[in-house]
Chains A and B, each alone.
Chain A
Amino acid sequence: MKKTAQRDLFPGTLEMMILRMLKRQPLHGYALVQHIKRTSQDLLQIEEGSLYPALQRLLKAELVKAEWGVSSSNRRVRIYRLTAAGAKHLQREVSSFERMLEGITRVLAVGES
């Protein structure tokens, strides 16, 4: 039986989180996953692979850019950084997401107070 805690993310959420992480610092794929997991304190179950299609979509939309570099463990990795367009996009997404979240919260809170 499926664990109820494990639900799919809203569409676009993963991209939003990636952008948010990259806003703080440029990262490569593996580090990104670790950061998201750690920051969410393992509340979010993310299939690690699903990161890559999302990254490709962001690359194509030119919200992030990538260049080859060396990781802390001395591997050749691709390091992603936020572009100006990405930063703007993130801002828009976050505010619209917060509005949606607030709406959902209000609806869920009906009759409980």
Chain B
Amino acid sequence: MSWLTQLFSRRRLYSELSEEIQAHLDEKIEELVAGGMSREEASHLARREFGNVGLTEESSREAWRWPSVEDSLMDVNYALRTLRHSPMFTVVGLLTIAIGIGANAGVFSVVNSVLLKPLNYPKAEELVALHQTAPGAAGLADFENGLLLSPSMYFTYAEQNRTFQSLGVWVTGTANVTGLAEPEQVRAAYVSDGLFQALGTPPEVGRWFSAADQIPRGPETVMLSYGYWQRRFGGDRAVIGRNMMVDSRPREVVGVMPKGFQFVDADFDLVGPLAFERGKLILAGFGFHGIARLKPGATIADANADITRMLPIWMDSWSNGPGTNPHVYETWKITPILRPLKQEVIGNVGELLWVVMGTIGLVMLIACANVANLMLVRVEARQQELAVRAALGAGWTRIVRGLLVESVILGLMGGVIGIGLAYAGVRFLVTIGPANLPRLDEISIDVRTLGFTLVLSVVSGLLFGLIPALKYAGPRTSFALRSAGRTISASRERYRARNFLVVGQVAMALVLLVSAGLMIRTFEALRTVEPGFTDAQHLQLMRISIPDSLIQEPERVTRIQHGILDKLAATPGVKSAAFASEMPMEGFDSAWDEIFAEDKVYSADLIAPLRLYKYVSPGFLRTAGTKLVAGRETTWSEVYALRPVVMISENLAREMWGTPSAAIGKHLREFSNMPWHEVIGVVQDVHEKGVQERAPETVYWPSLMSNLYGPGPVGAVRAVTFAIRSDRAGTEAFLNEVRQAVWSVNSNLPVASVRTMLEVYGKSLARTSFTLVMLGIAGAMALTLGIIGIYGVISYTVSQRQHEIGIRLALGAQGGDVLQMVLRQGAKLALVGVAIGVCAAFGLTQLMRNLLFGVTAYDPVTFAVVAVLLVLVALLACYIPARRAMLVDPVVALRYE
């Protein structure tokens, strides 16, 4: 008989059993009667000899059951019934749990997708980012990107290494595509040979670049991203072999990368080959990100050692030109610190996410404490029922199990709703897409998140079920029968568990509120930093680049840019307009170089400190709102006359010459055969890399110069960001007029990255504001749950002590005394919680030290404000039940007896 038919034929089995036993007894009785006994006597004897009929039937049936499973089913049934019978409790408990679990599942899905899941490349664990630092290179070492690779480094590493399967470099940029639709500026990535081989993701259609594509002036080829392929070619596979106009030159499409493929964390539309001219390379040119795939068995330490070995080979194999010492780079102390590619992608978000996960975990604990409290109240109300069950023979383990089943069911139901909440939350998060959150499009609720939620639901169910279960279902239940119904004031012991929970809640809420408070202080501190520009909301930005295939002569490029500025200035509502090679915080890989002063002596064996440099048009300072500290701005006539003038930042002026005014009239240059440029203006320090970062020493060159990028003829900066000061910034009508203004000068120019300075600024604060919002949410949840917790406990205590309070009042206590008594109890709980919380917060806020700015992890103001706030709120929560206690009518209270 299979177990299934057994299960269904059971009812028949049971009735047959009864029949059989009855037959047994009848037969025996008949036999005894036949032997001369009276029927009555025979019946007694038969039953005595048979034993307990009910018990026999019960244990006979037991043979057919899986006792543990069926008992559990019974428990589940019972639990569901009790939950249904107290809908208020169920709804409140369920909501608390669901919100807690939802928040945790949501944050976990982010942590899982961003931090835990491997990158989207085959065998991604073998991939490393070729990260290196140069602590000896002044001006460069503090920046996050470290020292990027130069093309000559790439060749040395790629050819001489012993630890990599393949290695390549890449860089991002933009490209102008014409001839498909409107002229369009797209995001481009340029890659060397070896990069696709290292990443290993096969193309969706076509092929990777081959070594032949990397030959300078060889065949011009391009690859597409999946998105661009879909958008511009409708996913047509026949695109392979077609030509498209990129930067006004025809390029053959050779391949399309699959959906979701990124270079580390960079989205792109087109990929082009870097095609280095090997013969012309020098040592310098540190502008390329390197990625390598380790040989099986090779570790990062091996690879670091390998690169350290290759650095002298690199210096011996290349030079920076005749008369230079290639070994000057020894003073830079270039050190490889390779790291897993995943770490490169995640960046500093890891720490942030773990802090958020931790705070949300705390919220979950507080929620559990609240539900445990609810359960305690309920179990207390059911004490008689439990005692009766115990008296009727239920083992206390069985009762505990029943209670736990109930709380686990509550947990699981909460988990189901929570997953729904988490799903909505994650969708929302992906939609608003907090900038700087890498791998955003990979965030989803996957099997691991579901597993996490399941475990969390069960564990939290056990957690908040265990306290009441152990407290009330213990072996001592019998006294409950005796005392139930008597209106005694409960012993202290009775409240201990509940007080303990409330103290814990207050302590955890304090930790969360302090963290949120520290983030608010950080945000405030960041807002007070003068970024180096004003009124970001009314500064419209857009990026335009003029490729040399479109306009050849440098001066004409500048004239066109100038023409655009004139047209923009004539647009209604525009106060002024200007351009720069990049705006602060725009996030480009900035340009750094040695800058020499005429009146300083530089050793040939040392590399001078590196300075950030950028190119600005006349009127830039006025438009951006960057203050001029000394001197004056450049003029258009100086630009066209190629007058050797320059502006510098205040910190650079102070470092070189002591005061801003002393810098005026001094001379600077970038490389040896560049004419000396006269410093005509000193500019306020600008936080180019975001307000958290120190403002770098900066040099502002004119945008049209003789030998712009190195020794050579006149050059103009072709890719610039236009900044337009107008109260109409950001409105659609205004943007249309702005585009028309640009196209009236040259209709082939794509307008890209249209946004206001406020967006750029906001993006640079995104990490802080994201943390602030998350911790704020967690803090608010904690505070709410904490208030509910303390309110619940105090009002329950009051309702239980009504009789006692009645006696007190009858014996002459004043209402005020009673009020005070209740408040004192609440205050005591709150104070103990706050004290514990402060100690815990001292330790825990250390973990978020790196997220803070302008405030220490021990900020006394935050601690004090939060502590006082929490105590006040707790007192307020106690006040309502305290007033109720004061209004107790002694006559009514005592009549209950």
Contact = CB atoms under 8 A, between A and B. Distances in A.
A49 B18 CA distance: 12
A53 B30 contact: no
B181 interface: no
B24 A56 contact: no
A57 B63 contact: yes
Nearest to A73: B27
Interface string A50-68: 1011011101101000000
A23 interface: no
A108 B673 CA distance: 114
A29 B24 contact: yes
Contacts of B56: 49-50, 52-53
Contacts of A52: 17, 20-21, 56-57, 60
A29 B63 CA distance: 17
A75 B23 contact: yes
Nearest to B51: A49
Nearest to B1: A62
B1 A30 contact: no
Contact of B63 (A49, A50, A53, A62): A53
B801 interface: no
Contacts of B26: 75
A76 B23 contact: yes
A78 B27 contact: no
Contacts of A48: 24, 28, 49-51
Contacts of A87: none
Given A50-B56, A52-B56, A53-B62, A75 B51 contact: no
Contacts of B17: 52, 56
Interface string B46-59: 00011111011101
A55 B57 CA distance: 12
A30 B24 contact: yes
Residue of A50, A55, A56 contacting most chain B CB atoms (<10 Å): A56
B61 to A, nearest CB: 7
Given A49-B56, A53-B56, A60 B23 contact: no
Among A47, A53, A75, A76: residue with most chain B CB under 10 A: A53
A56 B55 contact: no
B49 A30 contact: no
B27 A75 contact: yes
A91 interface: no
Contacts of B60: 52-53, 55-56
A56 B63 contact: yes
Contact of B23 (A53, A55, A77): A77
Interface residues of A, number: 22
A57 B65 CA distance: 10
A71 interface: yes
Contact of B49 (A47, A55, A56): A47
Interface string A10-51: 000000000000000000111001000000000000011110
A49 B50 contact: yes
B441 interface: no
Q: How large is the interface on B (under 10, 10 to 19, 20 to 34, 35 or more residues)?
A: 20 to 34
Contact of B51 (A29, A50, A78): A50
A30 B27 CA distance: 8
B64 interface: yes
Contacts of A55: 60
Contacts of A60: 6, 63-64
A53 B49 contact: no
Contacts of B63: 53, 56-57, 59-60
B577 to A, nearest CB: 91
Interface string B424-458: 00000000000000000000000000000000000
B16 interface: yes
B645 to A, nearest CB: 101
A96 to B, nearest CB: 22
Contacts of A53: 56, 59-60, 62-63
A29 B20 contact: yes
A78 B20 contact: yes
A47 B52 CA distance: 9
Interface in B559-615: none
Contacts of B53: 49
A71 B27 contact: yes
Contacts of A73: 27, 30
A53 B63 CA distance: 7
Contacts of A49: 21, 50-53, 55-56
Contact of B28 (A30, A47, A50): A30
Contacts of A78: 16, 20
Interface string B12-53: 000011011101101110100000000000000000011111
A52 B16 CA distance: 12
Interface in B214-238: none
A57 B61 CA distance: 9
Nearest to A76: B23
A28 B17 CA distance: 12
A30 B23 contact: yes
A48 B48 CA distance: 9
B61 A56 contact: yes
Contacts of A59: 63
B50 A47 contact: yes
Contacts of A57: 63
B55 to A, nearest CB: 7
A97 to B, nearest CB: 22
A66 to B, nearest CB: 9
Nearest to A75: B23
Nearest to B34: A73
B30 A47 contact: no
Interface in B690-721: none
A28 B16 CA distance: 13
Given A29-B20, A47-B51, A49-B55, A56 B64 contact: yes
Nearest to B57: A52
A68 B26 CA distance: 17
Contacts of B6: 60
Interface string B263-304: 000000000000000000000000000000000000000000
Contacts of B28: 30, 48
A29 to B, nearest CB: 5
B703 to A, nearest CB: 93
A77 B20 contact: yes
Contacts of B23: 28-30, 71, 75-77
A10 B63 CA distance: 18
Nearest to A31: B27
Nearest to A52: B60
A31 to B, nearest CB: 9
Interface string A67-83: 00001010111100000
A62 B30 CA distance: 32
- Chain A CB count within 10 A is highest, among B21, B30, B55, for B21
A87 B28 CA distance: 29
A76 B53 CA distance: 19
Interface string B730-773: 00000000000000000000000000000000000000000000
A36 to B, nearest CB: 13
Interface in B59-98: 59-64
Nearest to A45: B49
A47 B49 CA distance: 6
A37 to B, nearest CB: 10
Interface in A92-106: none
**9 shortest A-B CB distances, which residue pairs?**
A49-B51, A49-B56, A56-B63, A47-B51, A53-B59, A57-B63, A56-B60, A48-B50, A53-B60
16 contacts: A47-B50, A47-B51, A48-B24, A49-B51, A49-B56, A50-B56, A52-B17, A52-B56, A52-B60, A53-B59, A56-B61, A56-B64, A60-B6, A71-B23, A75-B23, A78-B16
Given A48-B49, A56-B64, A77-B27, 20 more contacts: A28-B23, A29-B21, A47-B49, A49-B50, A52-B56, A52-B57, A52-B60, A53-B56, A53-B62, A53-B63, A56-B17, A56-B60, A60-B6, A60-B63, A73-B30, A75-B23, A75-B27, A77-B20, A77-B23, A78-B20
